[in-house]
Amino acid sequence: MTTRDKAYEWIDAHKDDMVDLWKQMVTIDSGIGVKEGGMEMGNLCAGILEKLGFSIRRVSYEKCGDTIIGERGDLSKPYTILMGHMDTVFFKGEPEKRPFTIKDGKAYGPGVLDMKGGVCILLSTLEALHAAGFDDFPCKVILVADEEPAHVFSNAPEVIEKESKGAKCAFNFETGFPDHALVVQRKGCWRFFIETFGRGCHVGNDPQNGRSAILEMAHKIIEIENLTDYSKQYNVNVGTIEGGTVANAAPAHCKVECDFRYVHPEDLPILRKKVEEVCAKQYVPDVTTKLYDSVGFAVMPQLPGNLELLKIAQEVAEESGFPVPGPKLCGGGSDAAYTEAAGVPTLCGTGVEGSRNHTVEEWADVDSLFRRAKQMAGILLKLNEK
């Protein structure tokens, strides 16, 4: 029996254990800003890694859980990075409202797809390889606790880039897709705020003295949304809006947060200039406008090495009778951008397959939990042969 067969056999024999770990993770409330849940997830993952012979380092923060860095083997040699995030996009209390459930082969619950299923695959793959007698390859695991809010609570991007120097490749266990594709490229994300400042008044007694910040913003929203150009592979969304006080007063203030997605790094200054031009226009007399950055993700470019990793994944799939993954350009950002900033070829979206992430309809295919763990075990073994 080959090492790969032994690893696959371990996964087949431990499906219930893998689902139990998945459920345990989804049950932990590690939503945005829930530090205690982030710490609990980090402690769970660190404990499993320690049992597999990893030494653990932590980077701690005031408002989120620790970044967990697990290391094993001789890292002076080119090593492999396995990475993911332990938080979910939801807020405190969501696991109680929507506990982990399985129905008709699909798992449901906050973060079941994005990306606690992926973290479960990461750890289970290492357990399977350990049981098969293959655990001496140089490896670094990086797990962060505030990816969903784009690391507003940490310096994780800098940590990831620094920790990636010297690696030969990286795998990010982000959300997988029902078409079985693997992500070789991701759009960047620029988030920004626009605020308008007008003048309030009583609209019954003194309407002509009012200067509506909302009316000014309404014109700008339409222009901002019209900057979407799918032929150039970028799109903008005005995602939140707030302003005004009561219906009978002209609104003196309005604020929106926007999200711009783009493929090429050189697009960002072009898009920024277009937004600045919109903000410089004045539709309502005396209303002023302020533009400033929020948070975002860098572009994950398609490095040549990404396609080489995809080819290995395709070989494993063909040999194992799995669906053969194709390449995917994904609109969502991920921390794969920061391993690539260190020049490390990265394959992303290697986690559990499903859809509707970031919504209450989020689901994940249960069988893909086991298949993707086998596929990753096969990939790591094949990389060791090269």
Q: Give me the active site residues, please.
A: 87, 147
140 token code pair: 């670094």
279 CB contacts (<8 Å, ≥6 apart)? 194, 220, 289, 290, 291
- Whole-Å CA distances, 64 to 32, 45, 87, 363: 8, 16, 9, 26
Query: Of the candidates 164, 138, 109, 162, which has an alpha carbon nearest to the alpha carbon of residue 362?
Result: 109
Q: Per the omega criterion (within 30 degrees of 0), is the bond before 115 cis? A: yes
- Cα(46)–Cα(101) distance, rounded to whole angstroms? 25
**Strand 288-297 to strand 188-197: parallel, antiparallel, or no bridges (unpaired)?**
antiparallel
If DSSP codes are grouped into helix, strand and coil, which group holds residue 261?
Answer: strand
Q: Which DSSP symbol is given to 245? A: S
Are the beta carbons of 41 and 28 closer than 8 angstroms? yes
